[in-house]
Each structure stands twice: as structure tokens, then as C-alpha cells.
Structure 1
Amino acid sequence: MRGGHPYLVVVVTVSTLLFPLFVRSGETEKKFNVSAEDFDSFTEKFHRFYKVNSEEFKSRHLNVQNSTKRHAYLNSFSTVPQSAEYGINRFSDFSQKEFRDLFLRAHADRAPLFSGLKTEGLPVKFDWRDKVVVAPVQNQEACGSCWAFSVVGAIQSVHAIGGSQLQQLSVQQVLDCSFRNKGCNGGSTYQALDWLKQTRVKLVPQSEYPYKAETGICHFFSQSHGGVSVKNFTAHDFSGQEEAMMGQLVERGPLAVVVDAVSWQDYLGGVIQHHCSSQHSNHAVLLVGYNTIGDVPYWIVQNSWGTAWGNEGYVYIKIGGNVCGIADYVAAVFL
């Protein structure tokens, strides 16, 4: 993963390209103005409750107006079929800093470059959802727990691929008990998987240890208690080797990956092909499939921001070029 202060790079780059575009005529400015009525519609749709004319109301209104400028910039790249679309969504009243601080709390340890062989004869499209081994999209809410959702998503899928009934395992257990991580304040998929491997902790069903969207006290279970434990895992950097990464997905099951999701604040759907740098990985997700049919091959990625975001909770990312840093840190689980 890259060092330095990556957010500054992203913000300055966008600002430099963006704001000169919007110092224009009154007609153009009007295009980006979000009226009070429009903002009322936004608050009603997304169940926000801000006291009218309060400082928070004004601040949130301004954030939505600023988001429309970002959308115009991001959509200016969408000139080919299947391109990603950006617009108003449930995150539009967050400032970019708030969004990062709340939802982008994963970090990735440096992984060795993959040195294995490519898998020959891969299908042109593959989706683990077709095998009924991927649990429904979850919502991490205002908790930086994406790293735990990613790891648990991979484990429960691999468990189902092995012949067990698909069941949702406890994300809260990982959030509370993975002592090397920081709960809702962020964590590493590597540290979580290494903790599971070293301790042989059994993950229990979500029904026994439900998600609370806040860090709690670890609930321990006896060794005789049923659950799913991790025997081993691998973590590799597949930069420049995304075809080999496709083979890992088919052979190993859904993969826990860590990406740069700064631009995802405004994502509505389609295939992300641009302006999604790999300067700094900050969000963990679950890679469940790919599709190479058509002009733009893409990865199929399950997110943990609920089904109202993106493509019913999923995001599509162009294969090739390490878009969003999707190949930088890729973990496979063995049970």
C-alpha cells in the first residue's frame, strides 16, 4: 500500500480540475444549486431529521450542493457504454472528510506479489452468487467495520462451497474480539484473518451474536460450541496479474480485497473505469465474480453499505489497470 498523505493528493487533484469548471455564468451555477425544496425531498427520501435553518441544516444542504459539482466532474468521464454513473445518494449530505472517517476505515498490510501460474480455461463469466454461496448484502451503518464484513463474507461463502448450508456468521464477534484491530475505528483484513488462524476461534452464527454497529466487549464461547474456524489464508498483490486473480476467485471462492473507495461516496451504478486511484487502500469488500463478455470486462464486488447503494449493494469495477487498487491486496480463505 502507498505511503504519505493520499487523501491530500485526491482532494487537491479533484479541486484543481473541478472548481475552475464551476466559476461560470449564473445559468451554469443554477444547474448546481440544490433548492430548499430539493433538499427537503432529499431529507425525506433518506430519513434525515435536521432542524430547519439550523447550522447543521445549512451545513448538510451545502454538502449536497457540493456533491452535485463532484457528480458533474465524475460523470464527465462517462463517455462509453456501461460507464459508472454518479449522483445523489444516501451519502450526499456527508462532507468528503466525514464520509472517509465514518466508512473508509480499513487498511491493508503489504502483500507479496503473486508468483503462481494463471489458471487455464477460465469461463468468460463467473459469479459465486449463481452457486447460492454468497450471503445477502449487509449494512455496516456508521461503523468502520468493513474489514470485518469482508473477512466474514469470505469465510461464510467458503464454508458453503464446502457443502455446508449457507448461513450468516457473526461480524460482531470479529469486531469485538479481533484484538489487533480497532473495532468500529477500523482494521485490517490481514490482522483479522491472522487472529482467526492463530487462535482457531470459531465464528458463531449472526443470530447468536448479532451486529450492533458499535464495538462491544468480546463474548467468548466454549471450545465445544459449534462454529466455523479458519485453518489458513493467503494474501497476495495481483497488480498486473488480474487474469491470475480471476483464477484465484474461481478456485478459492469469494475473495476479501481492500480498495480505494473515495469516489464511491457518489456511485449510483455501472462499471467504474476512471478516477478511482490506488493511491491508498481504505475500504474492504468481497469479490464474488467477474464478467468478460462485452466491451468492458468487470469485477463483481459486494459492498457492506446496504442494498440501496450502487447496484443493489454491489459495485462493478473494470478488469485491468488495477482500477480502485482492487488487485493490491487479495486474500483467500481455507477452512
Structure 2
Amino acid sequence: MKSRWATLLLLCCCCLGHGVARTWPRSHQREAAALRESLNRHRYLNSFSHDNSTAFYGLNQFSYLSPEEFKALYLGSKPAWSPRYPAAGQTPIPNVSLPLRFDWRDKHVVNQVRNQKMCGGCWAFSVVSAIESTCAIQGKPLDYLSVQQVIDCSFNNYGCSGGSPLSALSWLNETQVKLVEDSEYPFKAENGLCRYFPQSQSGVSIKDFSAYDFSGQEDEMAKALLSFGPLVVIVDAVSWQDYLGGVIQHHCSSGEANHAVLITGFDKTGNTPYWIVHNSWGNSWGIEGYAHVKMGDNVCGIADSVSAVFV
């Protein structure tokens, strides 16, 4: 077994929505019960596997959490409260031809998967990761920018208790805040006081962003990915607690958004086309920190709320 949880876990997380801090007592009996529940859940989830490409589920770093604990820590209790933007404000998507496979990682413009730990800051990780990649696509160094700065300073979000990627992007766009390097303002997995920097401080500010609803239009979404860079998306990730690999096709819904991630590519070369999804739960989760989600059916609501960043 991996290291034991502390007797009291102070849970101050939700990824999307206004979360409430909770305390979960830990014990050997509680962990054992959660593990038994996990094993039963894995059998059910794996019963839907019909071929080698279908997602498979099993023991991972979240197996000692009950579903309630997992949701409170990583997913929150409410759907995304992100604003909706009119089509008139969207950047038009070029009509590019789509290859069978594309991944921005092949261009060396995507940073390694980071770990949000017990901070519900997925909304900030997804936005900052998109900005890092967009800068690198334009020929700038691929640096790690400060997620903690967004967690502490984005006044229209709730730090480690949750937030919306669109609200964070709106804040960055309106204030023209410069994101500093992670080494200058390191991640500490808890809320802190906002640190302010002089105008002369080097950093990255965004020029604009666009928000889209691509449900029923995932080829257009793929064109946006090719044209603009990795995309921030909001998904239903309840079943991701147990994910080990393969293509996610079941066990999640549209309209139940609770987790923000980054799409870096897609693959249509096999029988089941899928999106390549960069998560923020460390590289020991899933496929070295990534998930594969089926394209074309809005699986997990992956096409409902999509954002592109411009720097």
C-alpha cells in the first residue's frame, strides 16, 4: 500500500464550482472499506470493455478514497458556473485539413504533467498550461509559469476551493496581469495572499481568448486545436478516479462538468478515434498523466465548454 492518509484530511477542494472545506477522518478500517468499494467499482466499470481500445480501470493513487472523498477533493459539488460568450466574440476557425493524428507534444511545446495535489486548482492548471504552450508555439521558451499566482490573485475564483477556467481567462484578459515563472511564485497547494509585481517584472500576459461550444462539431474543435494550440476544456471526470488506460467511452456525461483539463492532440488512426488529454493529477495517474477520450460523441461533455488562448 502507498503511504497512509493523515488521521484528518482537510479537504478544501473542488475543481469547478464554489466548494466547501470538509474533514474526512481516516483509519485503517475506512481505507479498507474504500478499497473494497474500489474493487467492486472496477469490476462494474470493466464489464463494459468490449475490445482492447476501451478504457480499463483498477487500483491507483485514488483507490483509498471513497467516491465522496474523491469528488470533494478533485471534482467539487456543482457543475461549472462558467459564463457563456456570444458567437460574435469568437475567433473564426480556419478551415484547415485534418491529419489522422496530431499531438502538440510532438512539437515540444507542452510541459510535463503537474500535480495539483490536494488543491482544487485544476481550473488554474489548465489555463496556465495552455498559456505556456501557446507561448512556445510562437517560438518563446517553454517555461513553467506560476499556477499559484492565478490561484491567489484571480479574484473572481475561489483558489483551492474551485474556479472556472473561463473566469480565470476573463480576469487575465481584463487586468493584463503578467504571469511570472513558477520559480518566482512556486506552487504550494494551498491558498495564499496575492503577491504583486512591478510593471517592469518580466512575465506573460494574454492578448485574448475565445470560448466555444463544440458539441456536435468535434471536427471543428480539432481544427481549432491545430490552428490555435492546446485547448482548455471542462469535463465530467467522476469515473476518472479509477482510470488506468485505454479510451474512455462510457461512465461519464455531458452537462455534468466538474474538472478542467487540456487537450493537446487527437488520434484517428485506430478503430476508436480519441482526444489526447493532459491532466493535472501527476504522471503516475492514467497514461503517464494523460487520458484518452473518444472523439465524436461528446464523451464526458468534452466539447461543451472549450477555450483557446492567444498571447
Report the TM-score when normalising by structure 2: 0.89
* Contact 1:181–1:188 (CA under 8 A) maintained in structure 2: yes
- Residue 81 of structure 1 and its aligned partner are, at CA, apart by 2.4
Residue deviations 1:178-202 (CA, integer Å, cap 9, x gap): 0100000000001100000000000
Within 5 A, what are the aligned runs for 1:155-174? 155-174=131-150
Indicate the residue corresponding to 1:255 in structure 2: 231
* Contact 1:139–1:306 (CA under 8 A) maintained in structure 2: yes
- Residue 117 of structure 1 and its aligned partner are, at CA, apart by 6.0
Indicate the residue corresponding to 1:74 in structure 2: 45
Q: Residues 161 and 62 of structure 1: is their aligned pair in 2 closer, same or farther, counting only changes over 3 Å?
A: same
Q: What is the DSSP-based 3-state SS (H/G/I as helix, E as strand, rest coil) of the residue aligned with 1:331?
A: strand
Tell me the distance in 2 between the aligned counterparts of 1:232 and 1:95. Answer: 40
Q: Which of these residues, 89, 108, 119, is aligned with residue 95 of structure 2?
A: 119
Indicate the residue corresponding to 1:63 in structure 2: 34
- Residue 299 of structure 1 and its aligned partner are, at CA, apart by 0.2
Indicate the residue corresponding to 2:114 in structure 1: 138
Tell me the distance in 1 between the aligned counterparts of 2:156 and 2:5. Answer: 36
Gaps of 5+ in 1: 1-41
- Residue 55 of structure 1 and its aligned partner are, at CA, apart by 6.7
* Contact 1:107–1:186 (CA under 8 A) maintained in structure 2: no
Tell me the distance in 2 between the aligned counterparts of 1:321 and 1:137. Answer: 26
Letter in 2 for 1:251: S
Residue deviations 1:109-166 (CA, integer Å, cap 9, x gap): 2545869567342111100000100000000000100000000000010011111010
Tell me the distance in 1 between the aligned counterparts of 2:268 and 2:302. Answer: 16
Q: What is the DSSP-based 3-state SS (H/G/I as helix, E as strand, rest coil) of the residue aligned with 1:258?
A: strand
* Contact 1:111–1:328 (CA under 8 A) maintained in structure 2: no
Residue deviations 1:1-34 (CA, integer Å, cap 9, x gap): xxxxxxxxxxxxxxxxxxxxxxxxxxxxxxxxxx
* Contact 1:108–1:329 (CA under 8 A) maintained in structure 2: no
Residue deviations 1:211-260 (CA, integer Å, cap 9, x gap): 00001000000111000001100001100000000000000000111100
How many residues end up aligned between the 2 structures?
289
Q: What is the DSSP-based 3-state SS (H/G/I as helix, E as strand, rest coil) of the residue aligned with 1:256?
A: strand
Indicate the residue corresponding to 1:107 in structure 2: 80
Tell me the distance in 2 between the aligned counterparts of 1:329 and 1:189. Answer: 10
Residue deviations 1:263-316 (CA, integer Å, cap 9, x gap): 000101111011111231000001000001010000000000001100000000
* Contact 1:299–1:316 (CA under 8 A) maintained in structure 2: yes
Indicate the residue corresponding to 2:3 in structure 1: 47
- Structure 1: 4+ residue segments shifted above 3 A: 110-118
- Residue 174 of structure 1 and its aligned partner are, at CA, apart by 0.2
* Contact 2:93–2:223 (CA under 8 A) maintained in structure 1: no
Indicate the residue corresponding to 1:295 in structure 2: 271
Tell me the distance in 2 between the aligned counterparts of 1:117 and 1:209. Answer: 35
Residue deviations 1:82-132 (CA, integer Å, cap 9, x gap): 110101111011111111111114825254586956734211110000010
Indicate the residue corresponding to 1:328 in structure 2: 304
Considering only CA atoms, is the larger Rg found in Structure 1 or Structure 2? 1
Indicate the residue corresponding to 1:228 in structure 2: 204
Structure number having the greater helix percentage: 1
Letter in 2 for 1:293: T
**1:98 has 2:74 as partner:** no
Q: What is the DSSP-based 3-state SS (H/G/I as helix, E as strand, rest coil) of the residue aligned with 1:82?
A: coil
Q: Which of these residues, 141, 147, 156, is aligned with residue 123 of structure 2?
A: 147
Tell me the distance in 2 between the aligned counterparts of 1:172 and 1:166. Answer: 18
Tell me the distance in 1 between the aligned counterparts of 2:291 and 2:284. Answer: 12
* Contact 1:103–1:144 (CA under 8 A) maintained in structure 2: yes
Tell me the distance in 2 between the aligned counterparts of 1:190 and 1:117. Answer: 19
Q: What is the DSSP-based 3-state SS (H/G/I as helix, E as strand, rest coil) of the residue aligned with 2:27?
A: helix
* Contact 2:154–2:171 (CA under 8 A) maintained in structure 1: yes
Letter in 2 for 1:280: E
Indicate the residue corresponding to 1:15 in structure 2: none
Gaps of 5+ in 2: 8-24
Letter in 1 for 2:140: S
Percent identity of equivalent pairs = 55
**1:216 has 2:192 as partner:** yes
Q: CA RMSD in A?
A: 1.7
Tell me the distance in 1 between the aligned counterparts of 2:46 and 2:102. Answer: 28
Letter in 2 for 1:175: I
* Contact 2:132–2:145 (CA under 8 A) maintained in structure 1: yes
Q: Residues 313 and 55 of structure 1: is their aligned pair in 2 closer, same or farther, counting only changes over 3 Å?
A: closer
